[in-house]
Amino acid sequence: MDPVLGIDLGTTNSVAAIVQDGEPIVLRDDRGESILPSVVGLDQNGALLVGEAARNQALVAPERTVRSVKRKMGEDAKVVMGDQEYSPQEVSAMILRTLADRAEQALGRRLTQAVITVPAFFNENQRQATREAGSLAGLEVLRVINEPTAASLVYEPKSALNEKLLVYDLGGGTFDVSIVQVEAGVIEVLSSHGDTHLGGDDFDELLLNHVAAAFLEEHGIDLRTLPTAQSRLLHAVEEAKKRLSVEAVVTLAEEFIAEKDGRPLNLNLTLDRPQYENLITPLLQKTIDCVNDALSDAKLPASQIDRVVLVGGSTRTPLVHQMLHDQLHQELHHEIDPDLCVALGAAVQGALLAGIDVGPVLVDITPHTLGIRCVGEVNGMETDQCFSPIITRNSSLPAKRSDIYYTEYAGQSAVEIEVLQGEHDISSLNEWIGSFRLEELDPDAPALSEILVRFDLNLDGMLKVTAQERASGLSKEVVIDSKITRFRARDRGEAVERLSSLFGEEASAAALTGAVAAEDSGLEPARQTLASAQRLLPTAPAEDADEIRELMEKLEQSLQAADVAASLAAADELDDVLFYLQDR
């Protein structure tokens, strides 16, 4: 029996998944991309563009491109692309058809049945419009299910426990929160609240207005009145928003975005996370109000919620985590990629409808919070034993996060970066895992000068910590291996010989070879990074391609020399570039 497509038809992005060999998996295109931007357009010759190609065209031809059509589903409206008009269902059908084509390419056969997800707060008109879009795409829509139901399925496909989940779903264009009861495989939505016009798109608009106002004040030109400039700016702030989920500071740089008196004008603006959070706090407070209303309707206190599940790409925003934790006093679950879990859950629903047994989704997470010691308040008292989390427990791997800290006094010459893991607010109660000093700071720097600290944690548990004095650019980094990986090849060889001696045997060639193999395995992450670079290089913008080639050459030389330390260092440099490239 052919699998049933599970489709998350999103405002900003869409995803398709199936259950294969009992495991839900996301379907990828021929470039390895799992996410399809929900953007549709017509090129200058009238040919259809869907996904990344349409998104790129929006920068230069916004009049031939449609974004966020999900917000118009269920309305008696038309959207314009070039000189053509389409219903929202037709545009959505183009996205669904593209996802079905992706499935056919991946599997070698056409899938005709689908389960499609919608926000729990969608009304019947919006749900019917979704069914019509599926039919127009040539799909038999077996069921339209709520996104929180799908998320619950992917976390607990066959739970026998009586559990109550709070599913907080903040996507690109919609928000809803649902209280869900799961018992013996039956999922019941007890209450829902939300806003079908609140999401990441609104965050983008706030950022765009903030940047446009700054540009207007500096140059006297409003970029919002220039369609191409506005489209470029929207793309830039969207990328900045994503980066601010993991970076404390970002720079927006767009060359020749406008002109004045025949002179080209460039955009160059630095944004930090607190600025962004101040902009979006009122919108996020609306979501917290919805959380309280949903709990009230379900007649449940927060203490009776067994699990809080985060869904939707916008939940990566650190302020979302902070506000939810402050309100609910519960651990937040986001182990399964919030961009993918709804599609995976829809695939699970499709498999269950087809009578297929489904296992859990397997994810790699960090079991402990990682952070640094700093001066701060603990229980209302200032102390130099404050633990500041950077990567929180249960974050999916690999994970990258950064935050800004400050010097204590003017002319401070050095800072000590003490890295710890644990869940206590007091650093001395957590486990010390490493430290280093950033020295020779600017002697003329005032008190409260900014120090940027970044953590990069890979799948093998290897943590790279970077500290940078922002004003001068002075930086230093160290790599801290996980305790499991600290058993080096030399130690392994010595251990083999000691054990063989104790048992009155000669060390076997196989065991000693294992020591060499262990050393060689240390190069594997670097080889994987090189392979990723080779795959992404053809799609890299010109400004990135030259840097990637140089770093690839440096990495290849280190690999040929079998120099583990140099290879991992070169791979880290290359990975930093690839990280932002993969998010484009």
CATH code of residue 135: 3.30.420.40
Burial class (CB in 10 A: 0-12, 13-18, 19+), 157: buried
Compute the mean pLDDT over every residue in the chain, rounded to the nearest whole number.
85
474 plus 504 within the same structural domain: no
Asked, for residue 430, whether it belongs to a domain, the answer is yes
Residue where one domain finishes, among candidates 429, 458, 481: 481
Is 321 contained in some domain? no
Q: HSE (CB half, 13 Å, CA atoms) of 49?
A: 23
**CA neighbor of 115 nearest in space, from 142, 96, 138, 155:** 142
Q: Mark whether 503 and 567 lie in a shared domain.
A: no
CATH number at residue 384: 2.60.34.10
Q: What is the pLDDT of residues 423-432, one digit of tens each?
A: 899 998 888 8
Angle at CA of residue 171, ends 54 and 396, nearest 5°: 100
The catalytically annotated residue of 8, 204, 456, 469 is 8
Last residue of a domain, one of 492, 520, 548: 520
Domain-ending residue, one of 261, 278, 295: 278
| Band of pLDDT at residue 58, cut at 50, 70 and 90 | confident
What is the per-residue pLDDT across 204-249, written as a single tens digit (0 to 9) for each?
999 999 999 999 999 999 999 998 899 899 999 999 999 999 999 9
User: Does 151 lie in the same domain as 39?
Assistant: yes
* 300 within some domain: no
354: which DSSP letter?
Answer: T
One domain for residues 142 and 41: yes
- Contact by Cβ (8 Å): 128, 155: no
Residues of the chain above pLDDT 70, percent? 86
From 25-39, 253-267, 543-557, the region with the lowest mean pLDDT = 543-557
Residue with tokens 């499609």: 116
Looking at the fold, whether 344 and 379 belong to one and the same domain comes out as no
Instruction: Examine residue 24 and state whether it is found in any structural domain, yes or no.
Output: yes
Q: What is the DSSP string of 422-472?
A: SS-SBGGGSEEEEEEEEES--TTPPTT-EEEEEEEE-TTS-EEEEEEETTT
- The per-residue pLDDT for 256 is 93
169 is known as an active-site residue = yes
Same domain as 119, residue 9: yes
Single out the catalytic residue among 132, 169, 238, 572.
169
Are 532 and 401 part of one and the same domain? no
Q: Which of 29, 90, 132, 147 is catalytic?
A: 147
Check residue 121 and give its pLDDT: 75
Note down the domain range covering 572.
521-583
The DSSP bridge pattern shows strands 307-311 and 163-170 to be parallel
**What is the token pair recorded at 421?**
């893991």
The rounded distance, in Å, linking the Cα atoms of 409 and 554 is 40
**Is 372 found in the same domain as 346?**
no
The CATH code of the domain that includes 556 is: 1.20.1270
pLDDT digits (tens, 9 = 90+) for 108-138: 999 999 999 998 878 778 888 999 999 999 9
Q: For 11-31, what is each residue's pLDDT tens digit?
A: 999 999 999 988 899 999 988
Catalytic option among 70, 72, 242, 400:
70
What is the structure's pLDDT at 505?
55
pLDDT in tens, 559-568: 777 676 677 7
Same domain, 343 and 489: yes
8 is catalytic: yes
| Residue 555 placed within a domain | yes
Is residue 6 in some structural domain?
yes
Residues 14 and 114 in one domain: yes
CB atoms within 10 A of CB 331: 12
Residue 4, SS3 per DSSP: coil
Instruction: Mark whether 407 and 549 lie in a shared domain.
Output: no
Q: Are residues 15 and 120 in the same domain?
A: yes
Is 147 an annotated catalytic residue?
A: yes
Residue 502: pLDDT band by 50, 70, 90 thresholds? low
Closest Cα partner for 254 from 208, 291, 220, 321? 208
135 domain-assigned: yes
Q: How many domains does the chain have?
A: 4
Which pLDDT belongs to residue 186?
Answer: 72
The answer to whether the pTM exceeds 0.75 is: no
Q: Is residue 174 part of a domain?
A: no
- The winner for highest mean pLDDT among 173-187, 441-455, 497-511 is 441-455
